[in-house]
Amino acid sequence: MSRRDRLSGNEAVAYAMKQIDPDVFAAFPITPSTEIPQYFAQYVANGQVNTEYVTVESEHSSMSTCIGAEAAGARAVTATSSAGLAYMYEMLYVAATSRLPITLACVNRTLTGPININNDHSDAMGARDSGWIQIYAENNQEAYDNYLQAMRIAETPDVRLPIMICQDGFITSHAVENILLEDDAAVKAFVGEYRPEAALIGRESPLAVGPYDTCPYCMEHKVMEAEAMKNAKRAILDVAADFERTFGRKYGFFEEYRMEDAEVALVLIGSTAGTAKACVEDLRAKGIKAGLIKLRVFRPFPMEEIARALAHVKACAVMDKCEGNSACGGPLFAEVRSACYDLPDRPKLINVVYGLAGRDCPVTDIERVYRHLMRILETGETGPLYIHMGQRTAEEEVL
Amino acid sequence: MPYNHKEELSKPERFVGGHRLCAGCGAGIVARAMTRALDEGDKAVICNATGCVEVSTFTYPYTSWEDSYIHSAFENAAATCGGVEAAFNVLKRKGKMDGANYKFLVLGGDGGTYDIGFQSLSGAMERGHDMTYFCYDNEAYMNTGIQRSGSTPRFANATTTPVGSASTGKKQNKKDLTAIMVAHGIPYAAQTTFIGNFKDLHEKAHRAIYTPGPAFVNVMAPCPRGWQYSAEMLPEICRLAVETCVWPLYEVIEGRWYLNYMPKKKLPVEEFLKTQGRFRHMFKPGNEWTIEEAQKYVDTKWEDLLEKCGRDSLTAIR
Amino acid sequence: MKRSAKDINERSPWQEMTPGGEIYEGGTAKDYNTGEWRTHRPVWDPEICKQCLLCAPFCPDSSIPVKEKRRMDFDLMHCKGCGICAAVCPFGAIRMEQEVRE
Low-confidence ranges of chain A (pLDDT < 50): none
A72 CB within 8 Å of a chain B CB: yes
* Residues in A touching B93 (Cβ below 8 Å): 50
* Residue B178 belongs to domain with CATH number: 3.40.50.970
The C-alpha torsion from B195 through B199 and B203 to B209, rounded to 10°, is 60
* Residues in C touching A101 (Cβ below 8 Å): none
Mean residue pLDDT of chain C comes to 97
Residues 239-298 of chain B with CB under 8 A from chain C are none
Among candidates B65, B72, B122 on the partner chain, residue whose Cβ is nearest the Cβ of A67: B72
pLDDT attached to residue B317:
47
C18 to A209, A234, A368, B71, C4: CA distances (angstroms): 11, 22, 52, 16, 9
Q: Collect all residues from C whose CB is shorter than 8 A from any CB in A.
A: 2, 10, 12-14, 17, 19-26
* Residues in A touching C32 (Cβ below 8 Å): none
C99 CB within 8 Å of a chain B CB: no
Q: How far is C79 from chain B (nearest CA, A)?
A: 8
Residues 4-23 of chain B with CB under 8 A from chain C are 5-7, 9-10, 13, 15-23
pLDDT attached to residue B318:
43
Cis peptide before A101 (omega within 30 of 0): no
Q: Is residue B316 part of a domain?
A: no
Residue of C nearest to A212 (CA): C21
- B138 φ, ψ (degrees, to nearest 5): -105, 15
Please report the domains of chain A, with CATH numbers, ordered by start residue. 3-247 (3.40.50.970), 254-389 (3.40.50.920)
Q: Which residues contact A296 (CB under 8 A, 6 or more apart)?
A: A135, A136, A137, A142, A146, A251, A252, A253, A254, A255
The closest alpha carbon to A152, from A181, A183, A188, A192, belongs to A192
C40 to B23, B105, C79: CA distances (angstroms): 11, 34, 10
Alpha-helical (H) ranges within C34-83 are none
> Is B76–A60 a contact, with Cβ atoms under 8 angstroms apart?
yes
Q: Is residue B318 part of a domain?
A: no
Chains in touch with A (3+ beta-carbon pairs under 8 Å) read: B, C
Residue of B nearest to A213 (CA): B60
Q: Which CATH class is domain C33-102?
A: alpha beta
Half-sphere exposure (CA, 13 Å, Cβ side) for A368? 15
Residue of C nearest to A94 (CA): C20
Cis peptide before A114 (omega within 30 of 0): yes
Number of folded domains that form chain B: 1
Decide: helix, strand or coil at residue B312.
Answer: coil
Q: How far is A213 from chain C (nearest CA, A)?
A: 8
Q: Decide if B193 contacts B241 (C-beta within 8 A).
A: yes
Number of inter-chain CB pairs under 8 A, A vs C: 57
- B122 φ, ψ (degrees, to nearest 5): -60, -45
* Residues in B touching A51 (Cβ below 8 Å): 90
Q: Is residue B315 part of a domain?
A: no
> Is A69–B83 a contact, with Cβ atoms under 8 angstroms apart?
yes
Decide: helix, strand or coil at residue A173.
Answer: coil
Residue of C nearest to B232 (CA): C84
Residue limits of CATH 3.30.70.20 in chain C: 33-102
- To probe the interface with A, which of B96, B122, B130 has the most A CB atoms within 10 Å? B96
Buried/exposed A31-46: b ≥16 CB within 10 Å, e otherwise: bbbbbbbebbbebbee
The complex's ipTM works out to 0.97
pLDDT attached to residue B314:
62
- Whole-angstrom Cα distance, residue A149 to residue A154? 9
The closest alpha carbon to A267, from A310, A323, A312, belongs to A310
Sequential pLDDT tens for chain B (318 residues): 789 999 999 999 999 999 999 999 999 999 999 999 999 999 999 999 999 999 999 999 999 999 999 999 999 999 999 999 999 999 999 999 988 999 999 999 999 999 999 999 999 999 999 999 999 999 999 999 999 999 999 999 999 999 999 999 999 999 999 999 999 999 999 999 999 999 999 999 999 999 999 999 999 999 999 999 999 999 999 999 999 999 999 999 999 999 999 999 999 999 999 999 999 999 999 999 999 999 999 999 999 999 999 876 665 544
Q: Is residue B317 part of a domain?
A: no
* Residues in C touching B59 (Cβ below 8 Å): 29
Residues 191-250 of chain B with CB under 8 A from chain C are 194, 196-198, 224, 230-236
Q: Is residue B314 part of a domain?
A: no
User: Quick one: B264 exposed, middle or buried, by C-beta within 10 A (0-12, 13-18, 19+)?
Assistant: exposed
Domain of B295 in residue numbering reads as: 5-309
- Whole-angstrom Cα distance, residue A185 to residue A152? 16
Residues paired with B107 in a beta bridge: B48, B134
Residue of B nearest to A60 (CA): B76
Question: What pTM does this model have?
Answer: 0.97
